[in-house]
Amino acid sequence: MDIEARLEALELDQMERLSAEIAQDCVLISLIATHPDHAGLRDTFRSVAEYRLTQLGDVGFDQGTPARSAAGATQRLRNHLDAWSQKLA
């Protein structure tokens, strides 16, 4: 497969993922907006988020991921979780 075809396939994959994330974002925001227990939702989100951050660190350790790469992945996840946390505020 030539480089142009590979780049096109990667671009299409990225656009598909972005489309799926936007759709998921719409569903989640709708659920958040209509949830009757916002405080409980926020507390549960924070608990699950911290658990997922721990899981990501554990996977990185188990797979021997370089510390710098694992820290970068953890920070990117934390940034996304923080953005969602703001939507719950």
Q: What is the pLDDT of residues 9-48, one digit of tens each?
A: 999 999 999 999 999 999 999 999 999 999 999 999 999 9
Report domain extents, the chain: 1-34, 37-89
pTM of the model: 0.72
Alpha helices in the chain (DSSP H): 3-34, 38-62, 67-88
DSSP letter for 2, please: -
Question: What one-letter code names the amino acid at 57?
Answer: G
Per the listing, tokens 């996304």 go with 80
